[in-house]
Structure 1
Amino acid sequence: MSSERRFPRALYQHGEEPDPRFSLANERTFLAWIRTGVALIAAGIAIEVFASSIHSGLRLSAAIVLILAGIAAPVQAWFGWLRTERALRNSQPLPMPRLSIAVAAVVVIAGLLILLGFLV
């Protein structure tokens, strides 16, 4: 397939075509970030709708934190895929996901808010 027909075109115009296994693994990682985003949004909604035994302010805070992390995950998916594919095409070391630590921290914060909500 020519680079003119692939998106994003600027990416495919540079470097060499990597082993398809690596590009497919990169795509699976992209999809895993998308699934993570959907799960975080669903968890935020579920906490707000169904967890009535948790203090309302803390419940809402945990839900918002999870939903915001769920919105950030697809951003990480796209830019992570792009950076990794570029590194693969240019035979460079693979980059670390930029938002992975932040998403992990958000999950910890949401868990602490929920725990505190049960105790209050």
Structure 2
Amino acid sequence: MTRWPSWVYEEGDDPDARFTMANERTFLAWIRTSLGFLAAGVAVDVVDLDLSSGVRRLVAGLLLGLGLISALTAWLRWARSERAMRRHQSIPPPVSAGVVSLGLLAVGAVLLVLVVR
């Protein structure tokens, strides 16, 4: 049976199943975060808030972008971690947490500057 993605599974040994399952739980937690950002972006755009149309679309776009970035980085983090475990290497440092933190900082700054005046 061929496993996908091959660049993850083509070398090394299968790690302890507990570690693989922990890696998958972390992946799913990031996917839940991504879904939350996507839902928040849609909600900001469709719910009648006391915001101008431009601000609403900007905040919705930032939240939707964060949702997409979170989903992509979740998958990349899962794959890099799985490959590292198969190679008996250290797990790579998390990049996604910084990206999400900066994105939330941007959303908060936009709301602070454009809404609270």
Q: Does TM-score exceed 0.5, indicating one fold?
A: yes
**Match 1:22 to one of 16, 19, 41:** 19
User: Is 1:114 the equivalent of 2:111?
Assistant: yes
**Match 2:78 to one of 81, 93, 98:** 81
Identity among equivalent positions (%) equals: 38
8 Å Cα contact 1:62-1:113 kept in structure 2: yes
User: Is 1:62 the equivalent of 2:65?
Assistant: no
Task: Give the whole-Å Cα distance in 1 for the aligned partners of 2:55 and 2:104.
Answer: 14
User: Is 1:47 the equivalent of 2:41?
Assistant: no
Aligned residues: 117
After superposing the two structures, state which structure 1 stretch, 37-46 or 4-13, moved more: 4-13
8 Å Cα contact 2:8-2:80 kept in structure 1: no
8 Å Cα contact 1:48-1:59 kept in structure 2: yes
User: Is 1:6 the equivalent of 2:3?
Assistant: yes
What SS is found at the alignment partner of 1:5?
Answer: coil
1:67 partner amino acid: L
Shift of 1:119: 1.8
Shift of 1:51: 4.7
Shift of 1:114: 2.2
Provide TM-score, normalisation by structure 1.
0.86
* Equivalent residue, structure 1, for 2:29: 32
Please show how residues 91-110 of structure 1 align to structure 2 within 5 Å: 91-110=88-107
After superposition, the CA RMSD in angstroms is 1.6
After superposing the two structures, state which structure 1 stretch, 21-30 or 43-52, moved more: 43-52
Task: Give the whole-Å Cα distance in 2 for the aligned partners of 1:113 and 1:37.
Answer: 20
After superposing the two structures, state which structure 1 stretch, 68-77 or 98-107, moved more: 98-107
User: Is 1:72 the equivalent of 2:72?
Assistant: no
What SS is found at the alignment partner of 2:91?
Answer: coil
Shift of 1:10: 3.6
Q: What are the ranges of 5 or more consecutive residues in structure 2 without an aligned counterpart? A: none
Map Cα deviations across residues 48-80 of structure 1 (whole Å, 9 max, x no partner): 222521233222111101101111111111111
8 Å Cα contact 1:41-1:66 kept in structure 2: yes
